[in-house]
Amino acid sequence: MNTSFLPIPEFVEPYPDENCYSILSRCAVRSALSTSRFRSEMFRNKRDLHCLLWQPFRMEDLSRWFDDAGKRVQDYLKKHSCASYRYPFLEQRNKIHLQEWQDGELLTKGQYVSLARDLGYRGWKEKYLRYCPECVKEDRETYGETYWHMIPQLPGVTVCPVHMVPLENSVLTWNNTKYDLLPAEYWLKDVRPRKEKILYDDLCVAADSKWMMENGWNSKVNFSLLTDSLSVWQFEQAEAKTSLYAVIRSVKAETLYFILLANAKGMSIADCVTQPENC
Ligand SMILES: [Zn+2]
């Protein structure tokens, strides 16, 4: 461990479906340092923090923070980033980079940039940090605090797949999280679910997005099963709906696009994905 950096006063244990940004925000609160001081203690270079809403911590950071960084890197990659959600739809070279990331190798700046682009979020249009009021309530009962979940931040997810209530926008945008660590517990006050009917189609997208977050790592998509016998109109519908949430150049590589194609066939994405035998 590099001793030129101060030890972190307390590194919190991550909660289920919590992004790395949220984990870091909770650490910052416990550290009693100012955000800017905490940030400079944690990272060698000035780093945009909003990437951590979807990206895992990097190996070079983890190895400064922990003696057992090698063991932790996989957990943050698979459980606290959108790598699993995106995995089967990434370019081949980025799949290899992600495997290297998992193995604890250091990537070059160019490789990080390419991965970040392909992981998706730079093409995602939603700009607010979102939350499920019921999840917030449950988190507070279970853990004594709430946190930023990853699934509500995914494109096309408008309802909570667990509580089946509409998601809400917080007052914070992704831009607010670029340089500042803003814990959900401080920013989500009076939360109440809307008494509003949700659409079955929206629930299917939310449930499939959750499934991809939990099962997508190392999986392969059966593209012929997924696209076989779909009409041109169904492809166009999926493309149009995806374009509401993602910029046009990335639409046909988005996980959402493939979820919508599966749903158009009356299937779930799980029916079109093969997982490795050891899963
Ligand atoms: Zn919920």
Q: Which amino acid is at 164?
A: M
Give a yes or no: residue 164 inside a domain. yes
> Ligand 1 centre from 222 Cα, in Å?
30
What is the reported pLDDT for 8?
A: 59
User: Comparing C-alpha atoms, which of 86, 15, 14, 80 is closest to residue 53?
Assistant: 80
Domain extent, residue 122, equals 12-219
pLDDT of residue 3: 45
Number of domains comprising the chain: 2
From 118, 158, 124, select the one nearest 245 (Cα to Cα). Answer: 124
Residues 177 and 251 in one domain: no
Whether 27 is in a domain gets the answer: yes
CA of 83 to the centre of ligand 1 (A): 21
Instruction: Tell me, in angstroms, the distance from the centre of ligand 1 to residue 161's CA.
Output: 7
Output the pLDDT for position 239: 96
In 3D, which of 106, 122, 20 has the Cα closest to residue 63?
106
pTM value? 0.92
- Domain boundary pick from 200, 219, 238: 219
26 CA to centre of ligand 1 in angstroms:
20
Instruction: Give the per-residue pLDDT at 247.
Output: 86
Residues with CB under 5 A from ligand 1 (ion): 132, 134-135, 160, 162-163
Asked whether residue 258 is assigned to any structural domain, the reply reads: yes
Identify the pLDDT of residue 70.
Answer: 83
128 located within any domain: yes
* Cα 243 to averaged position of ligand 1 atoms, centre (Å): 25
pLDDT of residue 1: 46
Is there a domain that residue 228 lies in?
yes
CA of 90 to the centre of ligand 1 (A): 28
For the chain, residues with pLDDT lower than 50 are 1-3, 279
d(CA 4, CA 40): 12
Q: Nearest-CA neighbor of 12 among 171, 143, 160? A: 143
Pair (238, 142) in one structural domain:
no
Does 106 share its domain with 234?
A: no
- Would you state the pLDDT for residue 2? 47
Residues 125 and 232 reside in one and the same domain: no
Asked whether residue 100 is assigned to any structural domain, the reply reads yes
174 and 65: one domain?
yes
Distance 272 CA to ligand 1 centre (A): 26
> 219, 235, 262: which is the final residue of a domain?
219
Q: What is the pLDDT of residue 267?
A: 95
